[in-house]
Homo-oligomer: A and B are copies of this chain.
Amino acid sequence: MYRKGEETRELIVDTADRLFYERGYEHTSFRGIAREAGVPSGNFYHYFKAKEDILQAVINRRVEMIQRQLDDWQAEFPTPLTRLKRFVQIARNSQQGAIQYGCPVGTLTSELGKERTHNVQPSVMFDVFINWLEQQFLALGFKEQSRNHARRLLAYLQGVIVVSHAYHDEEFLHQEADVLDEWLEQLAASGNT
């Protein structure tokens, strides 16, 4: 049963999520979110008493969406290799966003990592990916190396997006996604034996 209040709250988190991605956290103001969402800034503090609370809500929202996406892929793709390839496919699909704004998770994590004062843990977004990737490598037959493979795959993709974003270079993004696909196929072949 949704009241008006819940809808307003969701609208605020939606808008904040988008603006944090497009402008960065520091560069996004309370008033900016309020303006963009069409919510009077005074009304804001009924839902979030500090800017950091919105940040936490945005991170929670992203974690949920990522987990939902990964669960869907788990059901949709039959083998670990096809699932891992679907993960790499993220880069190709989100090319517009990645080229223009970088990775939503990576850029926010990098930005917040500089601050020592706040209490949020942006790395939980990475955790969801790494845990899921680890499961795929375990299913491929890897043991204690699975987590390393998972982190390496995530790290490589992060680096590729950082460089592609810096140069606004779609071609490099696609090219390296192909390289990753090849690497996964070789790894899958060696892991099964």
Contacts and interface: CB of A to CB of B under 8 A. Distances in A.
A162 B123 CA distance: 11
Contact of A158 (B101, B151, B163): B163
Interface in A145-172: 148, 151-152, 154-160, 162-163, 165-167, 172
B123 A167 contact: yes
A102 B107 contact: no
Work out how many copies of this chain go into the complex. Answer: 2
Contacts of A126: 163, 166-167
Nearest to A172: B151
A163 B167 CA distance: 21
A24 interface: yes
A5 to B, nearest CB: 31
Contact of A107 (B114, B115, B148, B158): B114
Contacts of A22: 114
Nearest to A113: B165
Contacts of A60: none
Interface of A: 22-24, 26-27, 101-102, 106-107, 109-111, 113-115, 122-123, 126, 148, 151-152, 154-160, 162-163, 165-167, 172, 175-176, 179
